[in-house]
A and B are shown apart, each in its own frame.
Chain A
């Protein structure tokens, strides 16, 4: 598994960071929304590195008292859709208005033979939770996901 993945804005990327029992996700982007999208790609990469076709579209909305809690809500909403629909997602479009988020997810049902899913995310946590903009105006969004 590589540390970085697909580029969207040029600055957009994601990484996994080590945690003893679980796994850390971090998305980077030019906007907070883009960092959230990248973190969701990192979430899919916890499960599979195989190609996931963006065949089916799912819309989700969430809100929270602040942007860090919103980030956890977002990941948990994606985890919920993965679990209930038994799907994997490979494209994400996020818009954030204050502490309300609208997300569109594109993906396909899990194909065990092709995706060989490694493990199942149980939930996003408040551990190592950080949503921030650095001095070069780059956004990052990170937390530990329980697997």
Chain B
């Protein structure tokens, strides 16, 4: 994008003044290089979101923003139900509650190296990943409802997790307000045999080393030290979320026109929060959030079992589990007033600063861990939410590196086998059922995650705590 299209507020704040049917400005947080590399569609989509009824303050895009459907990926927008606010399936994304969890392994890199290959093979054999994989868990109707109500708490109660984890999961592991009765039979059918599966595409399980500490005090509070090993899982609500997204995208196209909402583009499909379709979507979407929380808890449990085999006496303890595709009701101060807003984060991570009321006691003094996935060959980051993020973007930050090139272009440029060999030579073991999938996810296909997190830090959204380098990556 041409930076000249924006009003530059400061080094990392780029503003589009309201014009035409825009109700609020659009604001992108990024440095100049990231802005130049961003697709023009991000500009267009951030502007379109600013036109939606009931939007509050601004339509935001994070430093890793790229072209999505309707909302940009990396988009944040809050809506007030008392001012005609809407909820949008395209503002959440198909992979509802897709997110990241990081667990501390309690061991050092030197402990891993002698068994790295065996551990990689064992994780790959035992964590169901990729197209056609089936989990070991099959849900009947009663269990499906229990899972959709209970989320990670359900998984723990069934023995696929640890009660200590719940405090370290957003919403304490259970999203309130789920309405399993609003989840269609087709969505349930897609999920029946998918609990505890990783999925494919950019989803992964990584064993990582803490390569660099930026903030010693926060790192200490999080239990992170250089050369420590952590396990990070990135995945979401699997087929159930995809099906709910698909069905409500269609319903909302029809609902928007019935409610007289003029959409600048029909992919912005939305429904008033105070409407049957809006409420149905929220109920189904919250059930899908529970599905994602349960799924990551189960995968964490599987990883725990495998680690216990290699490192008896050690336990993977959860640092945090945070979603980056959600719509959540949150209190925010706007113009000096506390308002309950429906905050959409699509490819954006909640980033509560120190003292936030929703954080567990152990994390409250320092702030929420913000987990940022990079590409499989480069780095991931752990950030901490900043108080200033509240004013900047309803306490939100980036979620990952963001793709720099399409899968199509990546496939033309790299061979999966070669990528795998080159990474192995650097001490990074990749395991995947598909070499083509590896090529499509090649590190060079992603933006520089370092630049993304530096921009987020400069913009006052979240601050860097630690950089992680991959040791093992299981790709779906």
A interface residues, Cβ below 8 angstroms from B: 1, 16-23, 47, 49, 64-65, 69, 72-73, 76, 79-80, 83-84, 86, 109-112, 115-120, 122-127, 129, 144, 146-147
Contact = CB atoms under 8 A, between A and B. Distances in A.
Contacts of A73: 250
A80 B190 contact: yes
Nearest to A50: B436
B468 to A, nearest CB: 22
A18 B254 contact: no
Interface stretch (B22-30, B210-218, B238-246): B238-246
Given A119-B440, A126-B69, A80 B406 contact: no
- Kindly name the residue among A84, A110, A124 whose own CB sees the greatest number of chain B CB atoms within 10 A: A84
Contact of B408 (A16, A49, A84, A122): A16
B199 A126 contact: no
Interface string B92-110: 0111000000000000000
Contacts of B254: 65
B403 A122 contact: no
Contact of A119 (B90, B200, B246, B269): B200
Contacts of B112: none
A118 B434 contact: yes
A53 B39 CA distance: 39
Contacts of B69: 125-127, 144, 146
Contacts of B267: 125-127, 129
B405 to A, nearest CB: 8
A23 B69 CA distance: 12
Interface in B236-280: 239, 242-243, 245-246, 249-250, 253-254, 265-267, 269
Contacts of B435: 116
Interface stretch (B55-63, B128-136, B363-371, B377-385): B128-136
Given A20-B405, A112-B433, A147-B407, 16 more contacts: A20-B39, A20-B66, A21-B68, A23-B406, A80-B190, A80-B243, A111-B132, A112-B133, A115-B131, A116-B437, A123-B243, A127-B68, A127-B70, A129-B267, A146-B69, A146-B95
A69 to B, nearest CB: 7
B67 interface: yes
A147 to B, nearest CB: 5
Name the residue in A64, A112, A119, A146 with the highest tally of chain B Cβ atoms < 10 Å from its Cβ: A119
A100 to B, nearest CB: 16
A1 B408 contact: yes
Nearest to B241: A122
B250 A118 contact: no
Contacts of A22: 407
Candidate in A1, A18, A118 with the most chain B CB atoms within 10 angstroms = A118
Given A18-B406, A123-B246, A117 B130 contact: yes
The 3 nearest A-B residue pairs measured at CB: A110-B132, A117-B131, A18-B406
Contacts of B408: 1, 16-18, 23
B373 to A, nearest CB: 13
Contacts of A69: 250, 253
Interface string B396-431: 000000110111110100000000000000000000
B186 interface: yes
Contact of A19 (B67, B190, B246): B67
Interface string B431-445: 001111100100000
Contacts of A1: 408, 411
30 contacts: A16-B408, A18-B405, A19-B406, A20-B39, A20-B406, A21-B66, A21-B73, A47-B131, A79-B242, A79-B246, A83-B242, A84-B190, A110-B132, A112-B130, A112-B131, A116-B435, A117-B200, A118-B436, A119-B131, A120-B131, A120-B199, A120-B476, A123-B94, A123-B243, A124-B246, A125-B94, A126-B70, A127-B70, A144-B69, A147-B407
